[in-house]
């Protein structure tokens, strides 16, 4: 059902994006030639870069991932899990240029690379009876546990877009394109069992590529300020390489090695909104923009870690609700040249 909805959205946006726009004075008239005494804000924000444009964005993202809970603390019949989060840095770079010579049929091609550093750590912080969630069950319980996760999140987007000046306050910009993603994660868990540390190490490497569709909008507030919003949806065909093992320092019953490759089509989406300050120039730079916003990213079915159902080494199950989610602040500087 999710795949069908994303495919329907992509097809409808594709038709809209490449449809011929009705020519009217709204697109052909230059806002600079209009009398400022009639509409002071009419076409106050140029939507066509002279030749090309570039944008540099600093990301400060907090990430969450389902399915990586490693321990449950048993305390008077209740089970608790301690989890810590923090913001991680990231970077996004965009380069684009025009595909047309006339502004009537203006379309743009842009390439965007996004990188986010993934790093977090967690500790049960107390000593007590602990269920070891990534070791075979019915073995000795632990008294303390800790975990650390590190990784690199990369996406590469190639988009074709076309802006429409719908009114003096509203700019519409649909797009279609291709998205590639590389997400590499390393997970280490340490269980304190009978005063001996038992470790579990896992690698979850994802590689995917597919189609995407997006929509962006600018709501002009004044001649220099505007509110922006954008969203993208993508369907990626990808592969996950999983390696998960425990050397079994305490006992041979805790020793195991799992290697698996899975192929699947999964959706992902991102949503962003914020405030933009724009300044137009008459020289080499057509427009300078400074943006501050908030962004959400969601990748479905990322982590493929395994849990044991019983002592049978073949009785394993992929963790549930294994989605990867980001949210955080964005700071952008863009130039239209």
Whats the size of the chain, residue-wise?
337
Q: How many CA atoms lie within 13 A of 174 on its CB side?
A: 15
31 has a pLDDT exceeding 60: no
Q: What percent of the chain has pLDDT over 70?
A: 77
For the chain, which domains are there? 2-336 (2.40.128.90)
pLDDT at site 29: 40
Residue 218 CA: distances (Å) to CA of 131, 277, 311: 51, 12, 58
Q: Is residue 174 packed enough to be buried (19+ CB in 10 Å), middle (13-18) or exposed (0-12)?
A: buried
CA 194 – CA 275 distance, rounded (Å): 55
CA 260 – CA 240 distance, rounded (Å): 8
CA 118 – CA 125 distance, rounded (Å): 22
Which pTM was predicted? Answer: 0.81
Per-residue pLDDT reduced to its tens digit, 274-292: 999 988 777 666 778 999 9
For the chain, the average pLDDT equals: 81
Per-residue pLDDT reduced to its tens digit, 105-134: 678 899 999 999 999 888 887 666 788 888
β-bridge mates for residue 245, sequence order: 201, 257
């Amino acid at each position: 059902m999710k795949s069908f909805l994303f495919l329907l959205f992509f097809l409808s946006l594709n038709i809209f994006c490449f449809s011929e726009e009705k020519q009217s004075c709204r697109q052909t008239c230059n806002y600079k030639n209009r009398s400022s005494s009639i509409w002071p804000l009419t076409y106050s924000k140029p939507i066509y870069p002279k030749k090309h444009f570039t944008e540099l964005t600093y990301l400060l993202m907090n990430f969450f991932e389902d399915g990586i809970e490693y321990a449950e603390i048993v305390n008077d019949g209740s089970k608790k899990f301690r989890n810590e989060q923090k913001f991680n840095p990231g970077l996004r770079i965009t380069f684009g240029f025009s595909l047309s010579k006339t502004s009537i049929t203006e379309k743009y091609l842009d390439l965007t690379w996004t990188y986010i550093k993934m790093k977090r750590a967690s500790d049960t912080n107390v000593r007590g009876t602990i269920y070891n969630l990534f070791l075979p069950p019915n073995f000795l319980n632990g008294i303390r546990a800790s975990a650390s996760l590190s990784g690199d999140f990369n996406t590469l987007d190639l988009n074709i877009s076309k802006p429409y000046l719908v009114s003096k306050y509203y700019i519409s910009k649909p797009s279609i394109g291709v998205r590639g993603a590389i997400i590499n994660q390393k997970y280490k868990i340490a269980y304190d069992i009978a005063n001996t540390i038992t470790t579990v190490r896992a690698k979850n490497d994802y590689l995917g590529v597919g189609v995407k569709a997006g929509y962006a909008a600018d709501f002009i507030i004044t001649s220099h300020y505007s509110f922006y919003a954008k969203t993208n949806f993508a369907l990626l065909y990808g592969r996950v390489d999983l390696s998960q093992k425990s050397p079994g320092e305490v006992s041979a019953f805790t020793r195991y090695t799992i290697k698996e490759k899975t192929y699947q089509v999964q959706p992902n989406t991102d949503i962003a909104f914020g405030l933009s300050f724009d300044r137009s120039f008459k020289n080499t730079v057509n427009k300078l923009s400074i943006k501050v916003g908030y962004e959400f990213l969601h990748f479905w079915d990322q982590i493929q870690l395994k849990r044991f159902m019983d002592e049978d080494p073949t009785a394993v199950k992929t963790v549930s609700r294994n989605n990867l989610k980001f949210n955080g602040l964005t700071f952008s500087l863009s130039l239209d040249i």
